[in-house]
Amino acid sequence: MAVTHYELIILGAGPAGLTAGLYAARARMNHLLIEKGAEGGQILLTDWVDNYPGFPDGISGFDLAEKMAAQAKRFDLNSMFGNVTSMDLTQKQKRLELDDGSVKTCDTLIICTGARPRPLGIPGEKELTGKGVSYCATCDAPFYRNMHVAVVGGGNTAVQEASHLTKFADKVTLIHRRDELRATKILQEKAFANPKLEFIWDSTATKIDGTDGVEAIHLLEKSGKESVLKVDGVFVLIGVVPNNTMLPLDLLKADAGGFIPTDIETRTTVAGVMAAGDIRSKEVRQVINAAGEGATAVLAAEHYLNNLS
């Protein structure tokens, strides 16, 4: 069995992982970045990013990911595609097993496996993702100026994002499966006072219609009544799901949602193991803070390595 050792392994190539890779490569650390899919993470699902510094005219999610990867590779980023199936973080040298049978060990590990939007799982959702179905109002709201959009959800994120959408859309309809919101009271008060925000209660989405774009969303009330709401976009905001199947969640003291808690320097409860990006237990999940956490994690890894005895 082939075993290769590194000072640092970065797990995941989203914005956090690519930034960590950039910092590690520039620092000439003996490193490896492992990604199981495509470089870029969730930003590949975003058609256009208007709020990342340095791009005054905006940039597509694909292009931003490509530029992040190219910048890291300019400094000889050492990366590979592979799927980590299990890991042992109980020893001083961390051990990762991949599905090709190889084993990688490291002194420090940065977990950047990210998260994915929790989908509704209804017909039309997957086919129209990026064509009117979105999971981030902060990212995509400007595309819906003077339009009618629906928001599915009832928690803090859904209510905040619905309120944000009213700055652009003519009308926002929030659809919630219960008869009251789960968001904090102050958010609810602001939402109920917003004249551009309407509510549909006790209803679940069952289907999204459209070909080149969203045209309507089908609803089912608790009473059994069905209806169709004509909309130009659907924002699904029912939470995210962490990519954590390969992680030792008990050892890392994962929170109830399966996310990994860290200190302000991204250090987990396991010495030499950091977590950055959407896998972290936190409130804000944006490209910009994921990138910052990736940089912080490498600096924390360097500090750990410098103090190894």
Q: Within this chain, do residues 90 and 17 fall inside the same structural domain, yes or no?
A: yes
Give the 3-state secondary structure of residue 27. coil
The model's confidence at residue 303, banded by pLDDT at 50, 70 and 90, is very high
Q: How many CB atoms lie within 10 A of CB 248?
A: 15
Mark whether 248 and 112 lie in a shared domain.
yes
Residue 37 has pLDDT above 90, yes or no: no
Q: How confident is the model at residue 308 (pLDDT cuts 50, 70, 90)?
A: confident
Q: Is pLDDT of 19 > 80?
A: yes
Q: What is the pLDDT of residue 91?
A: 94
DSSP single-letter state for residue 131:
T
One domain, residues 103 and 208: no
pLDDT of residue 170: 97
Tokens at 129, concatenated:
């993702």
197, 218, 236 - which closes a domain: 236
Band (14; pLDDT cuts 50, 70, 90)? very high
Neighbours of 151 (CB within 10 A): 29
| 244 and 106 within one domain | yes
Q: Nearest 5°: phi and psi at 183?
A: -65, 160
Question: What is the pLDDT confidence band of residue 253, given thresholds at 50, 70 and 90?
Answer: very high
From its phi and psi, is residue 260 left (phi > 0), alpha (psi between -120 and 50) or beta?
Answer: beta
| Collapsed DSSP state (helix, strand, coil) of residue 51 | coil
Residues 87 and 66 grouped into a single domain: yes
227: tokens are: 């209806």
Mean pLDDT across 14-24: 97
Domain containing residue 296: 3-116+240-306
Q: How far apart are CA 75 and CA 23, in angstroms?
A: 9
Does residue 29 sit in the same domain as residue 130?
A: no
Verify that 9 and 85 share a domain, yes or no: yes
Question: What is the number of structural domains in the chain?
Answer: 2
State the pLDDT at residue 248.
Answer: 97
The set of residues, in sequence order, having a beta carbon less than 8 Å from that of 195 and lying 6+ positions away, is none
Residues 69 and 32 grouped into a single domain: yes
Boundary (domain end) residue, out of 236, 266, 281: 236
Residues 44 and 58 in one domain: yes
92 plus 37 within the same structural domain: yes
At residue 230, the 3 state secondary structure works out as strand
Say yes or no to pLDDT of 1 above 80: no
Predicted pLDDT at 279: 97
Q: Is residue 110 domain-shared with residue 248, that is, in the same domain? A: yes
Q: 170-194 pLDDT, tens per residue? A: 999 999 999 999 888 999 999 999 9
Region 106-117 average pLDDT: 95
pLDDT of residue 154: 94
In CATH, what number is assigned to the domain containing residue 221? 3.50.50.60
Identify the domain boundary among 185, 216, 236: 236
| In a shared domain, residues 288 and 231 | no
- The residue-averaged pLDDT of 37-52 equals 81
- Residue 218, pLDDT above cutoff 80: yes
Residues with a known catalytic role: 136, 139-140
Rounded Cα distance between 269 and 12, Å, is 20
Q: Enter the tokens of residue 75.
A: 């400094």
The yes-or-no verdict on residue 47 having pLDDT over 70 is: no
